[in-house]
Amino acid sequence: MARSKGNTPGPFAPFEWMIAWRYLRARRAEGGVSVMTWISLIGITLAVFALIATLAVRSGFRHEFVGTILGANAHVTVYTTLRVTETGQTTRAIEDYEDRAARLAALPFVTRTAPLVRGQVMSTLRNRNAGVEVFGISESDLNSLPGIVDPQSEQGDLNRFPEGISIGSGVALQLNAVVGDRIKLISPDGVRTAFGTSPRVKSYEVVHIFSVGRFDIDRTRIYMPFAEAQAYFNRGDTADEIEVMVKDPDAIDDYLLPILNAGGQDTLLWTWRDASGSFLRALDIEDNVMFIILSILVLIAAMNIVSGLIMLVKNKGRDVGILRTIGLSEGSILRVFFICGAFTGLIGTAAGVVLGCLFAIYIEPIFSFVNYVAGGGVWDPSIRGIYELPARLEFGDVMSAVILSLGLSFVVTIFPARRAARMNPVEALRYE
């Protein structure tokens, strides 16, 4: 009499899990888990760990780099078109900078505007020189700059800014300057005399030293009171540019047209993406290449599951024949061996995720140890632009690594499992 359909066990029935678990627990002498299975388990663990660690460092580096850009630089810089003055000179000076700044600040998405005077000069202190870029800015605007208000480190008193200048930590290091020293600033575009233009030299007290976390900013930047910068650079009552910060820097392209309209007909814009776009695009390309390379490593590790599972199928050929004889279907046999292989991928993936997350969380002591063992100098901020190796765990990055690893593990497991399911029980038991 035919067995009723209601008594047919469904897929992944408890007895299938029991058989698979017994195979996984069996000793090697009994035809259980082979050395290749352990190798594939370790391989998947290391591959997933490397993938998550790389994605975390990538996310951390990008977040740190973009954060320091947006913390100390304008999201949009407003210029004016080049024009000719009555004396025949060309200039981009903004005469109505207060009105323009007020119009820009009235936009709903703008969080901050600040007129600036900029110029490149030579700084000197006790026979030490450094090329720097001076930013003339008002005290209130400087106190609203995120990278200065909340720096990585600082010395001195920012409240004394009207009495002197604020310099980057890299500038202080090059000049061997400390708070209270007086730095000479030398500008080639100085006083006009009957014998030509003589350099302008003036000394300023260092009242504040800051570090925003970007080596190139800390190494070159000096902030000077706005009125003093106007006098020092012969700007009169004008500004060179207006820096604008917005609520959502990533949506800067959507803000350009309203900013242009508020700035006026002669307005030119330069966004943070224009300044760092090529570097960010290079980061995107590197991220994609690294993900592909590490995905190949995960695939190679997953392929070891095939080798281990084939050896398990060969060792369990007699068991397969008996199970098929007593009534197990091809689907049940396939699922038994699929569970064996998938379990390896699952355990390896879980272990890799744990190791990768621990690496991202404890990257500072790990990197300090590596730097100590290597004798220092492993991380050069002049090349990387930031002072330390960052790591940032993103849920999407972790999930992409998990999905990739489990997907590959499950797919490659199907082929040896199908081989076991299609095994002829007569051939399997012929010599038993």
pLDDT of 368 higher than 90 = no
pLDDT given at position 30:
47
pLDDT given at position 360:
87
Q: Which of 234, 177, 235 is nearest to 206 (CA)?
A: 177
pLDDT given at position 276:
76
pLDDT band at 117 (very low <50, low <70, confident <90, very high): very high
pLDDT band at 355 (very low <50, low <70, confident <90, very high): very high
pLDDT band at 377 (very low <50, low <70, confident <90, very high): low
Rounded Cα gap, residues 402 and 167, in angstroms = 46
What's the whole-number mean pLDDT along residues 274-283?
77
Q: What angle in degrees, to the nearest 10, is found between the helix axes of 395-421 and 35-72?
A: 160
Q: Which of 307-316, 341-350, 351-360, 420-429 has the lowest mean pLDDT?
A: 420-429
Model confidence pTM above 0.85: no
Average pLDDT, the chain: 80
What's the whole-number mean pLDDT along residues 218-240?
89
pLDDT band at 122 (very low <50, low <70, confident <90, very high): very high
pLDDT given at position 307:
74
Which is more confidently placed, 91 or 49?
Answer: 49
Q: Which of 117-131, 212-226, 333-347 has the lowest mean pLDDT?
A: 333-347
**CB proximity list for 47: less than 8 A, separation 6 or greater:** 294, 297, 298, 300, 301, 352, 405
Which is more confidently placed, 428 or 87?
Answer: 87
pLDDT given at position 143:
87
pLDDT given at position 148:
82
What's the whole-number mean pLDDT along residues 371-390?
64
Query: Which two structure tokens, joined as six digits, stand for 129?
Result: 């020189």
DSSP string, 305-359: HHHHHHHHHHHTHHHHHHHHHTT--HHHHHHHHHHHHHHHHHHHHHHHHHHHHHH
pLDDT given at position 215:
75
pLDDT given at position 378:
58
pLDDT given at position 284:
80
Q: Which of 299, 268, 318 is nearest to 430 (CA)?
A: 318
pLDDT by residue (tens digit) across 11-36?
Answer: 667 777 777 777 766 555 444 455 66
pLDDT given at position 88:
65
Asked if residues 306 and 34 have their Cβ atoms less than 8 Å apart, the reply is: no
pLDDT given at position 10:
60
pLDDT given at position 197:
64
pLDDT given at position 182:
92
Point out which residues pair with 2 in neighbouring strands: none
pLDDT given at position 291:
84
What single-letter DSSP state applies at residue 201? E
pLDDT by residue (tens digit) across 281-338?
Answer: 777 888 788 888 888 888 888 887 777 777 777 776 666 667 767 767 777 777 777 8
> Considering Cα of 171, then 174, then 179, then 180, what sign does the dihedral take?
negative
How much of the chain, in percent, has pLDDT values that exceed 90? 16
DSSP 3-state of 274: helix
What's the whole-number mean pLDDT along residues 93-105?
89
pLDDT by residue (tens digit) across 232-260?
Answer: 888 888 899 999 988 888 888 888 899 99
pLDDT band at 225 (very low <50, low <70, confident <90, very high): very high
